[in-house]
Chain A
């Protein structure tokens, strides 16, 4: 079985390492390097992505965190929804605590109905660790009861790319800096003619080049600002929305990257508010997508449109890469596999878009309706209506954004149900208050004992954590 991967961006390399790791010499992988980085970047690895890279691909957390600009921990997103709304924190497992066998958000919502003003993040250890800028991984001392599903990291994208590349070189995967000149479908394979005139046949091709013929294009403008910094950021990423657009700030040790975006062409207001004219680029980006067509699998790069809103921006890609890894090498009817792949990835795409659309619609960003399809708008409206009237989440496809994350999202944007769940009504209100208070006190006891984020990063870089 022979597989060709086009583009050595992070997604192409992740796919290559995943296939090599799973199949070894049973599948021959060749990579053609068409990667041309536009700028250095920082990449957020949420819990599912981090687990995939560590558990499935075999990289150590320490190796990922090291690098010229060492990585930092990433326990959640700090969101400022715009206008007068307060900043909120959305963590990776925001409703881990339970009351009456129900996630804690139900209790918080119940309390709000009788005048309680506490925010959901008050009952999240991870959120309180972000605020206090402290960090420790779960350890045998039991210092910190964070779950694996609550921990992510932020690292340099080039560092991750280099790690993946080195692994592939060790595995003997050939990396050729050339282009594909022609593709010809033949009987159960594809003949590829390269730019140097050589030709080879492959069973499958995986392309992570942006393909706007296949994926829906979205135009946006952006300005990127880098800054050196001596202080270490809190273990989170920040997103601020306003009418002009949104800005997100990510950090690694010593560096901070701020990206400001708006929908469509930047107008004068945007330029005046955010940056000098010459810094703004208008870029066509794509919604997340993955499609299997005639033995070629097209995959979005990780910086697909709206990915920055997701808690784990690579999560949809990782889901698709894992699926692809399970399917590619099967000697079987490619059309059947393609149908299966396309149906599953469509669900991932819908789940992803639903969250991105909700972020936009709850924000004051201008022109947002222009980039949202009728279907996505209808789904968003239905989801919000169900939540408002019942306090219940709509069943989400693809297990991408869990019920807890949706609850935390609504809370962050100050959307609260006007009816609370019957499932918690049977619990006495005093009992709800008491249990919430216990969670709060328990967290308050833990957090002050934890080392500072900066100190903990230095331990990791010294290899001691």
Chain B
């Protein structure tokens, strides 16, 4: 049972998840009748997940009334138009998964069918040559997208690379200005009420007792409340996502484009995330296949500049708690589950959980069915991201290490197996109504990692070969000209206010821009 009236919400843990939650609750829930408290300890480090974000974060900031420029300056942010994947399908191959579409649907037939036919007819241009965000990202150019669906600029969206620690600090200031009370201290005990099994208090090292009616578990991997106290079990997905360690080192340096880079290594993959003041680097790896020292060595050998901090090692297991909200405990962030940062989904999952919590939270008489619906929707979010991540590992032709042999041959979830078979056999991408990754993302990874369908939609035959070839070349030239006119990312950031005057793009809950509009958050 959840308490009939919630007068005090206690957030256990700071970091990105804790302060994002505090900020949103301060904005939408806090009132003289409902107090928000956050307990954190300086002695416990934060993981600082999600330096690379998804476009949805813009919608979160907008809801909170945070200006983009203020946010970007506070977090040393750069723009992000997608993620580059190197060596995933096979060593030497690369592709970019953009926040946007490839080409334009013609007569209800997705563009990639025309491209498949164009290739079959001997065309040279890759699918990426028909994606404005890919071309712009590689040229390190940037412009705001447009909401005018007739404009080429409506075919993409954008996110940021941020310093997650700075974002947490920024949101802390935001939250404290709005009445959130921060309590410094290490939690040494958690009190559980005898009558209903709800958590009733946190005891700090100094003996202080923090009582509350609803507890948000943002304690990270430790999952102090949901797992350790409420005993919620863990759905282990490590058989499909075998990486269980990461080591991170930031370094000095510049980066060539407005994108995150994910380079597959022999026993995992390396990230590079360009910020204004540094590059974030890390190696996510499988401890069954490589030692910590060897992984550190791989990472060090690939730094593009002088390291500016000591290596930070992380241990994790891919998977999810079987419920994110039990009794009066809601887990948000790593305490609810972990999916590796391959597609920058960590902050997205935090954000989605927060917004769903606010949607379903009521200070009085909260119904158990609302909790069930919250859990059902979070399960769906995790499941769909999980399958998309597994695809990256499984759709490989690499045989150069035991790790990749395992990934190539491992049994995958039935749903994913079906999706891959359907695409290979029919060129059809499974569609669904809710979730994060839609057709353009699946196409990017399928084709980028060498899963090419045996056929294409016969409607793509409607255009005669010569006309198709000319149309494809024209579209590519049109996009190249558009990119050519865009300012560089540095120019854009320097002249941000001037460009922002003409901004016609709102923040949507979508990866892909106005053409494929998602639900407003």
A332 touches B426 (CB 8 A): yes
Question: Provided the pairs A332-B426, A390-B370, A398-B433 are in contact, do residues A26 and B461 lie with their beta carbons within 8 angstroms?
Answer: yes
Alpha-carbon separation in the docked complex, A198 to B185 (Å): 86
Question: Provided the pairs A332-B425, A398-B433, A399-B433 are in contact, do residues A389 and B455 lie with their beta carbons within 8 angstroms?
Answer: no
Contacts of B125 in A (CB 8 A): none
- Majority SS of interface residues in chain A? helix
A419 touches B426 (CB 8 A): no
B364 touches A419 (CB 8 A): yes
Which of B363, B422, B454, B520 neighbours the largest number of chain A CB atoms within 10 Å of its CB?
Answer: B422
A422 touches B367 (CB 8 A): no
Of B26-34, B152-160, B285-293, the one touching chain A: B26-34
Which of A56, A339, A340, A388 neighbours the largest number of chain B CB atoms within 10 Å of its CB?
Answer: A340
Interface set, chain B 30-68, CB cutoff 8 A to A: 31, 63
B459 touches A22 (CB 8 A): yes
Q: Kindly state whether residue B189 has any CB partner on chain A within 8 Å.
A: no
- In the complex formed, the residue of B with least CB distance to A347 is B433
- How many residues on chain B are close to A (CB under 8 Å)? 41
Alpha-carbon separation in the docked complex, A426 to B365 (Å): 20
Contacts of A461 in B (CB 8 A): none
Contacts of A329 in B (CB 8 A): 458
Alpha-carbon separation in the docked complex, A290 to B107 (Å): 25
Within the complex, what minimum Cβ distance (angstroms) separates B254 from chain A?
38
Within the complex, what minimum Cβ distance (angstroms) separates A377 from chain B?
14
Q: Kindly state whether residue A199 has any CB partner on chain B within 8 Å.
A: no
Q: Kindly state whether residue A370 has any CB partner on chain B within 8 Å.
A: no
Q: Kindly state whether residue B263 has any CB partner on chain A within 8 Å.
A: no
- In the complex formed, the residue of A with least CB distance to B27 is A426
Q: Kindly state whether residue B428 has any CB partner on chain A within 8 Å.
A: yes
Contacts of A397 in B (CB 8 A): 433
Contacts of B454 in A (CB 8 A): 332
Q: Contacting B425 at CB < 8 Å: which of A27, A333, A423?
A: A333
B359 touches A340 (CB 8 A): no
Q: Kindly state whether residue A392 has any CB partner on chain B within 8 Å.
A: yes
Contacts of A423 in B (CB 8 A): 28, 358-359
Q: Kindly state whether residue A446 has any CB partner on chain B within 8 Å.
A: no
Q: Kindly state whether residue A455 has any CB partner on chain B within 8 Å.
A: no
Alpha-carbon separation in the docked complex, A23 to B462 (Å): 8
B415-437 CB mask vs A (1 if < 8 Å, else 0) is 00010011001111011011000
Alpha-carbon separation in the docked complex, A211 to B27 (Å): 54
Question: Provided the pairs A330-B428, A333-B425, A425-B28 are in contact, do residues A390 and B359 lie with their beta carbons within 8 angstroms?
Answer: yes
B433 touches A389 (CB 8 A): no
Alpha-carbon separation in the docked complex, A333 to B421 (Å): 9
Alpha-carbon separation in the docked complex, A344 to B431 (Å): 9
Alpha-carbon separation in the docked complex, A148 to B154 (Å): 21
Alpha-carbon separation in the docked complex, A193 to B433 (Å): 40
Interface set, chain A 361-402, CB cutoff 8 A to B: 381-382, 385-386, 388-390, 392, 394-395, 397-399
Q: Kindly state whether residue A421 has any CB partner on chain B within 8 Å.
A: yes
A311-343 CB mask vs B (1 if < 8 Å, else 0) is 000000000000000110111110011011000
Q: Kindly state whether residue A101 has any CB partner on chain B within 8 Å.
A: yes
Alpha-carbon separation in the docked complex, A330 to B459 (Å): 10
Alpha-carbon separation in the docked complex, A337 to B361 (Å): 40
Alpha-carbon separation in the docked complex, A27 to B457 (Å): 12
Alpha-carbon separation in the docked complex, A419 to B31 (Å): 15
- In the complex formed, the residue of B with least CB distance to A24 is B462
30 sample A-B contacts, Cβ–Cβ < 8 Å, listed by A number: A22-B459, A23-B458, A27-B458, A56-B108, A101-B520, A326-B428, A327-B426, A333-B425, A336-B421, A336-B422, A337-B422, A337-B428, A340-B428, A344-B431, A347-B433, A381-B369, A385-B367, A386-B360, A386-B373, A389-B366, A390-B359, A390-B367, A390-B370, A418-B365, A419-B365, A421-B359, A422-B29, A422-B361, A423-B359, A425-B31
Task: Given contact pairs A101-B520, A327-B428, A389-B362, enumerate 10 new A-B contacts (beta carbons under 8 Å).
Answer: A22-B107, A22-B459, A331-B458, A340-B422, A381-B369, A390-B370, A392-B370, A398-B433, A421-B359, A422-B359
